[in-house]
């Protein structure tokens, strides 16, 4: 299958309507209604837990916005946001796949996009496909069309490259998941209000953090008792905490101010939350058990290597969610990620892999005049000893260029 390079056109409305016809408007309306029915914590809780659940499916918010505009009789083109434009690009590819693939493709796509656990991986696969569509290459969505066990087959009409795509969430290998941590933060923000002082609560959890609201309400009560008794430590079941006073009236309004406020309490293995109104509350939580982030990535890439046919040059593309652009600079040096990738590629059984490319989902869109571009900063590692049959593959032939991944 080959698509034209211009992914977003003037007919975004038609793209949304075709997509909804293929995947079922009623399915999306049910998902939107379910999300809207989630219980909200009383003000001033920021309700980060429900916001996180909404973000798990990147298509959901765009579909909800489109349906709202349609109901109000408003033009999608005149009310387009960068998020709607980005999703419009995905939908054009998805609609082409559905059109060319028939009933089986419709069922498979519907399953992938409606499932919050698979949709981000599928969209990352489309990101890689769009990258090569833009370069004028021929791209087959192999797995989607039941033609093989890997994801993409890309050709520049001289050489073919197999690609297996993997997405690792920010929770991969971690004992503290974002959903449970955000739920804890919402409960604390609601139950400890109104704040009369600024302070930080730093948790140590034995093993994994549960998602029990009942437990978190009890934790909030114990924190109140500690504050009233002027104690700076406490424990409820497997959650131990320390309380540190912050500067009175501390205000945090920007990411830079949040970084300054967090600096004295920072640990690379912890999750953090900063909530600031009249006063500021900082919540941090990490497990006493060691995170296994690199191991989780390694095991997934090892499985991905086994999905490739070993009959052509190949690439593993891995999206690591929530890696900020500035962090890639650190990872280019002697990082754990570099060492893990060297170990992966150093195994002779994986000499069919020419490249491993990592990227993330945090690169901000760029707007120049009427054009908005979406890209992904990436980090590429080459195999120093590829299969002799595949040694002539040029790195420039199949580059995942951040500027080319724009839509």
Cα(301)–Cα(164) distance, rounded to whole angstroms? 9
Contact yes or no for 68/29 (Cβ under 8 A) = no
Query: What pLDDT is attached to residue 7?
Result: 43
Are 55 and 89 within one domain? yes
Are 206 and 107 within one domain? no
Count up the domains in the chain and report the number. 3
Query: What pLDDT is attached to residue 402?
Result: 47
Query: What pLDDT is attached to residue 101?
Result: 79
Dihedral (Cα; 385, 391, 394, 400), 10-degree rounding:
-50
Mean pLDDT of successive 10-residue stretches along the chain, which has 407 residues? 43 91 96 90 87 92 95 88 87 89 87 96 94 89 91 93 94 91 95 91 94 96 96 96 90 83 86 88 93 92 97 95 79 86 95 93 76 79 82 60 37
Are 278 and 191 within one domain? yes
Are 93 and 241 within one domain? no
Helices (H), 192-335: 213-228, 255-262, 293-307, 325-331
Angle at 57 between CA 52 and CA 60, to 5 degrees: 105
Contact yes or no for 366/96 (Cβ under 8 A) = no
**Termini Cα distance of the chain:** 19
Cα(24)–Cα(31) distance, rounded to whole angstroms? 11
Are 303 and 392 within one domain? yes
Are 277 and 209 within one domain? yes
Cα(161)–Cα(46) distance, rounded to whole angstroms? 46
**Segments forming the whole domain that contains residue 126:** 118-173+292-407
Are 1 and 30 within one domain? yes
Are 353 and 299 within one domain? yes
- Single out the residue of 31, 314, 17 nearest to residue 152, CA to CA: 314
Query: What pLDDT is attached to residue 406?
Result: 28
Query: What pLDDT is attached to residue 381?
Result: 92
Query: What pLDDT is attached to residue 4?
Result: 39
Cα(316)–Cα(301) distance, rounded to whole angstroms? 7
Query: What pLDDT is attached to residue 62?
Result: 94
pTM assigned to the model: 0.87
Residue at which a domain ends, from 261, 287, 313: 287
Q: Given the structure tokens 């009236």, which residue do they identify?
A: 249
Indicate the length of the chain as a whole number: 407
Cα(248)–Cα(255) distance, rounded to whole angstroms? 20
Are 110 and 125 within one domain? no
Helix (H) and strand (E) counts in the chain: 12, 13
Are 239 and 388 within one domain? no
Q: CA 5, 9, 12, 18 torsion: positive or negative?
A: negative
Are 18 and 28 within one domain? yes
Contact yes or no for 373/407 (Cβ under 8 A) = yes
DSSP per-residue codes, 63-102: HHHHHHHHHTT--TTTT--HHHHHHHHHHHHHHHHHHHHH
Residue at which a domain ends, from 71, 99, 117: 117
Are 258 and 296 within one domain? no
Furthest CA-CA distance within the chain = 75
């Amino acid at each position: 299958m080959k698509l034209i390079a211009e992914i977003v056109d003037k007919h975004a409305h038609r793209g949304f309507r075709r997509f909804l016809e293929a995947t079922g408007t009623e399915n999306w309306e049910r998902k939107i209604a379910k999300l809207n029915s989630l219980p909200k914590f009383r003000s001033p809780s920021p309700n980060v837990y429900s916001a996180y659940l909404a973000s798990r499916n990147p298509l959901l918010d765009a579909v909800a916005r489109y349906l709202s505009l349609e109901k109000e009789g408003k033009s999608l083109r005149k009310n387009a946001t960068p998020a709607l434009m980005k999703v419009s690009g995905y939908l054009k590819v998805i609609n082409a796949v559905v059109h060319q693939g028939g009933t089986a493709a419709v069922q498979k796509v519907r399953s992938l996009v409606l499932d919050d656990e698979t949709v981000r991986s599928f969209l990352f696969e489309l990101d890689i496909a769009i990258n090569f569509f833009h370069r004028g290459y021929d791209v087959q969505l192999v797995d989607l069309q039941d033609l093989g066990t890997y994801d993409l087959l890309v050709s520049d009409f001289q050489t073919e490259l197999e690609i297996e795509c993997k997405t690792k969430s920010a929770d991969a290998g971690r004992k503290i998941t974002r959903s449970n941590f955000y739920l804890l933060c919402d409960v604390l923000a609601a139950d400890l209000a109104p704040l009369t002082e600024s302070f930080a609560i730093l948790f140590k959890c034995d093993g994994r953090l549960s998602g029990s609201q009942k437990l978190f309400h009890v934790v909030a009560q114990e924190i109140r008792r500690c504050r009233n008794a002027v104690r700076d430590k406490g424990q409820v079941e497997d959650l131990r905490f320390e309380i540190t006073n912050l500067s009175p009236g501390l205000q945090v309004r920007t990411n830079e101010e949040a970084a300054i406020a967090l600096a004295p309490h920072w640990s690379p293995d912890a999750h953090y939350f900063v909530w600031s109104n009249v006063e500021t509350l900082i919540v941090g939580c990490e497990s006493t058990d060691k995170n296994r982030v690199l191991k989780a990535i390694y095991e997934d890439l090892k499985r991905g290597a086994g999905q490739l046919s070993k009959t052509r040059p190949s690439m593993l593309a891995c999206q690591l969610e929530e890696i900020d652009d500035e962090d890639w600079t650190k990872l280019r040096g002697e990082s754990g990620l570099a060492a893990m990738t060297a170990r992966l590629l150093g195994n002779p059984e994986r000499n069919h892999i020419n490249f491993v490319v990592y990227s993330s989902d945090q690169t901000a869109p760029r707007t120049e005049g009427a054009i908005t571009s979406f890209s992904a900063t990436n980090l590429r590692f080459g195999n120093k000893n590829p299969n002799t049959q595949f040694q002539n593959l040029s790195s420039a032939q199949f580059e995942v260029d951040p500027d080319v991944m724009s839509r």
